[in-house]
Structure 1
Amino acid sequence: MSMKPINNPNEVPQNMTDKESAEYWDTHELTEDFLLNAKPLDESEMPPKRTDAKTITLRMDADTLERLQKVAEMKHKGYQTLLKQFVNERLYEEEKRMHIL
């Protein structure tokens, strides 16, 4: 699959949900020109810091971690970000199945 190049920050949609953002970045990539011409964001342009996140320790076998890292690399994401996405998607499905949502 060919990734669609992004040359300008204005090409990136604003206010996407996490799911929309993941789907977008699965099919788009920043060009070298974009990265070379990028300027630091002003503090007012930065998203608010998340204060509700908790740090946890998770043990998994080496094979599973390697597979996760490989998939994350292919999706151009960090493996922890991908793992959080997987957990959120599966949790949502379980909540639907259990009629919690």
Structure 2
Amino acid sequence: MIEWKKYDPNNLPTVGNEYLISDGTHVDIAYLMETGYGDEVRFYPPDRSPIWYDDIIYFAEINLPGSDDGWRICPACGEDYRAGEEVVINREDTHGTSK
């Protein structure tokens, strides 16, 4: 069963991970990433998602059986990084380094 949580920008889940997201009507996937502008963090759904990032009200962790090897892929450049590392996307949309 999927454990949906209400999205609260003051109580964010782990930055750099991929999540299921919902606007209450649609469901999609998105990465929670820093925007590169100060400390701003937001979900990045796919370009053709029916969900706009400002409309996300629920999220859920993706926990497929046997899929947690600790590595993730940066949505901007495709590079691998460890889950839990802080990943920064700079203004040129290239993979940043962990802080």
Q: TM-score, structure 2 length as denominator? A: 0.23
Which protein has the larger Cα radius of gyration, Structure 1 or Structure 2? Answer: 1
Structure holding more strand per residue: 2
Q: Which has the higher helix share?
A: 1
Higher relative contact order (CA 8 A, sep 6+): 2
